[in-house]
Structure 1
Amino acid sequence: MANVLAAIFGCAAVAKLTDRRALPQAIVDFGLPARTATPLGGLLVVCEFAVALALAVRPWARGGALGALVLLAGFSAAIALNVSRGRTPACRCFGGAHTAPVGWSTVARNGLLATLAAFVALGGRFPWLFAGLAAATALAWLGLRPVRIRKVRPGMVARGFSLPDETGRTWTMDSLLAAHRPLLLVFSDQACSACSALLPQVAGWQETYGERVTIAVVSGGTQHANVLAGADGPDGAAPHRLLADAHRRVLADYGVTATPSAVLINAERVVVAAPAVGAAEIRGLIEKALRTRGGSTIARRAVLFASAALAPALASACTAARDIRSIAPSGTPPKQVEVGGGWLCDQRYALCTSASCEPSPDDPNVVICRCAVEDGYSYGFTSCDERAPKRDKLISTFSVQNTSSRTHAMTCTDRARWANCLDVTCHIDPQDPHRALCHCQSVESENFLTFGGNCDTRTCATVIWSAATQELPGVAEYKSAMKGIGLPVTFPEACPSSTPEAISRSVQPLRVR
C-alpha cells in the first residue's frame, strides 16, 4: 500500500515540476494571492517528493503516510472551500497531464487516498475497518463524478456560453453568430506550448478571412494569462476575440481533452464538422468553413419536413437503396442500415418527437422528457450496437412511427426553451412501461419545430417541447433509408396558419431531435 501511495505522490510531484509555468496560476485560481503562488508551488513539489521518498523507504513509511494525510487534508479543504462558493478551478493534481474542474468527486478521491494513508500510518491495523472506508470513499468518488457530455459530433446544436475577451467585452454564442457567418471555435490553454505557437496563425486567419468566417479562441485559464499568451501574433498583436475560460468549463462542455483543437459551427448554431485536433486539422476546418458559407451545405442535405420528397432526398434514397441491396438478403429488410453518417436500426427505442418536458432539479442544462417506448425502425447517429436496449435503458432516436392524421408539425417562431433529445439515454418509467424518461439537452432559440402542441402556438412559451431547429441533417437520411428498404414513411402535415409567411416557415428543412 505504501508503494502505491509513493508512486502516486511521486508522479504528481514530477508532473507539477514539468508544469512549472501553469502551477502558480493554478494556485492563484484557487484564490491565493499571486505573490505567494511561486513559492507555494515550489514548496508543494518539495513536500510531495519528500512524502513519496518517505513512503518508498520502509522505516520511514509511517511518517510519510502522516505527511500524505496532511497534504490531502489541505488539498481537500481548499477544494471544498472553492466548490462551496460555486467556483471550480482546474485541478492540476498531475500537472498538465490531466486538467479538469474540481468538484465534490475530487474531495471523495482524496478521501480514498487519505484512507489508504491512514491505514499505512497505523501500521496496517484494523484492516476490515479501512477496507470498508476505502470502499465507501471509492463509491462516493465514482458516484459524484460528473456525467460526461456526449461527444461533440456533426448535427449537434452547439452549447452556449458567456465569456470575456481581452478588452473585457462579454461574448456569447449568439453574439459570435450575429454576422450570420460560420464560426470557428479554437480551444487553447495557457499552459499549452503548441497553442502559443498556433495563435499567430489564428491572428493571420482573422485578418485574412474575417469577412467570411468568424474565428474566436476559447482559452482555459485567467483572462490576463490569455492576453499574454496571445501577444506573439502578427506584428506583435494578439488575436482578437481571445475569450478567457477561467475555470475551463466551456472546454469541459465541448469535451475538449487535448489542445489546440477546434470545432466548426454554422450560422444556425449547428456543429458541421467533427472536432479537429492540431494545427493541420484546424487549418482543414478553415478551408471547410470557407466552403460552408453560413450552413448552406447542410441546407442542401436537408429535406422539406412536411412536404413530399425533394430531388436531393430522392437521389439520396436511390443511393441508400443500392447500399441496402448490397448488404441485405433479397426480399428481407435488413435489421440495420448505415446511411448519411448515421444508422437506421430495427429495435426498441424511445420516441420523443411530441414529448413534453420538465426542468431537471439537478442540472439547469438538462430537461426530463416523457417519451414513448416504440419497437421498429428509427434513425440516430450512434451505431445499432450502442443503441441496443439494455434492461430498462433505451436511446432516444427519430422516426415517424406513431404519426397519425391528428399529428401536426408546429413551428414556434418566438424565442423559447425546448429539448434536444436525439441520441440521449432514457430509462423506462417503472410506473408505465410504455413511457421512458429521457434526460435531454435544454436549448433556447427561436424558429424550432415540434410534433407536440396540437398547433396551439401559445404552448411554445408555456411548455418545454421536445423539438428541433431548422435546416439540420438526418430527416433526409431517415426518409431515404426507409424508402430504400421498401417501408412507407408518412410525415405529419404542417399546422394551418393564417399567414403565408408562417406557412412558409413551417415547411423549412429541419431535423427532429
Structure 2
Amino acid sequence: MIDWPLMASVGLVAARLLLSITFLVAAGGKLVHPVGGRQTLIDFGVPHLAAGLATALPLVELTIGSALIVGRFAWFGSVGALTLLLLFALAIGANLAVGRAPVCNCFGAIHSAPVGWSTLARNAVLSAAAGFVVWQGQADPGPDLIRWPVEQMTFGRAAFLSVVLGLALAGAQVALLVQILRQQGRILLRLDALDARSAGVNAALQQQGRVEGLPVGSPVPSFRLDGVNGESAALEDLLDGVKPVFLLFTDPGCGPCDALLPEVSRWQQEHSGDMTLALVSEGTAASNQAKMDEHRLRRVLLQQKREVAAAYQVRGTPAAIVIQPNGVIGSAIAMGADAINSLVAQTVSGALHRNSERAAPSAISEPVKV
C-alpha cells in the first residue's frame, strides 16, 4: 500500500532541493559575471532597468535559494521562486513570439546560450516544482533540509559520508586545476601568436602608410542612433567599462556583408562575455529587419547618411573597429571578412587591450552631428 504522506514528503524535499540548487547556482554565476547578467537584461528589452536589476536579481535569487532550505521559510521561498520563474517565462515567450532569441546568461559565468523552446520547457519544470511546494501550503512545506539529514544520520554514517565527500572534493579540485593549467597553456600560446601577428601587421602597415581610421588611443566620437526596432542607443550605453565595443559597419545591399552575417550572429552569442558587438548599418529599418530576424542579430543601429562611418573614417563595408572599455580607439579599421575575423580573434583574446594599455583614460569626444 502506498504511503501517500511519505511520498508527499519526499516530493517536497526533492522539489525544494532542485529549486534551491538552481537558484543558488544562478545567483553565484551572476555574482561572478555581473556584466553578462546586465547584457541579458538589455537584450531582453529592459535597457533602462538593466543596471539596477543586474545588481538586485542575484541577491533575490540567493535569498530564495537559501529560504528553500530552511523549513519555516521554505513556503515563502517557493512563492518567490514561482514568481520569478513565471516572469522569466513571460519574457522568454514574448521574445520568441517576435522571432528574437536573446542570449540568456541565466547561470552567469557557468553557462549561457540563446533562449529557445528548451529554455521554456526547463522553466516549466522548475515552475511545476515551485507550484507543488506552494500548493502544499505554508503549514507543511516539508522538513528542514539542514536539521533533518543530521537527525537521521548516525555517527558512523556521518564519518563515512565526510570522508567520501572530502575525497570527492579533493578529486574535483585536482581535475579542475589540471583543466585550468591546460587551458591557460593553450591560451598563452594563442596570445603569443596573436601578439606577434598583430605587431608585425601593424608595423608593416605603418611603414606603408596604409593604417586607416582614427589613431589608436585617440578619443572616440560619440553617437546616438535608433535601432531597427525603434529603440535608441548611444555609444555610452554600449560601453560598460569592462568589455571592449566591437563596431561592425554593414549595408543591407552589400553582398560580402550578407555572407558575414552568420558569423556575426555566432560571435554575438559565443563572445558576449568578451566584447559588445554592435552593427552600424545603413538604409531603412525595413531593409534591415529581415536580415536581422533571419540571423537573430542584436544591437543593429541605423545611421542616416553615413555620419558615424564618416566620423570614424570608415570608407566601405564590411568594416570593423574596436573601442576599448576606457573609451578610446583600440584598433585600426579592419576591411573585409578576413581582416574582421582576425580582429575578432585579437579582441576576444585581449591582445588589443594589452597593446593599448598606455592609452589615455576615458576620452569620448563630441557627439556625431546628424
Question: When you count helix as a share of all residues, which structure comes out higher?
Answer: 2
Q: What band does the TM-score fall into relative to the shorter chain? A: 0.3 to 0.5
With structure 2 as the length reference, what TM-score do the two structures score? Answer: 0.40
Question: When you count strand as a share of all residues, which structure comes out higher?
Answer: 1
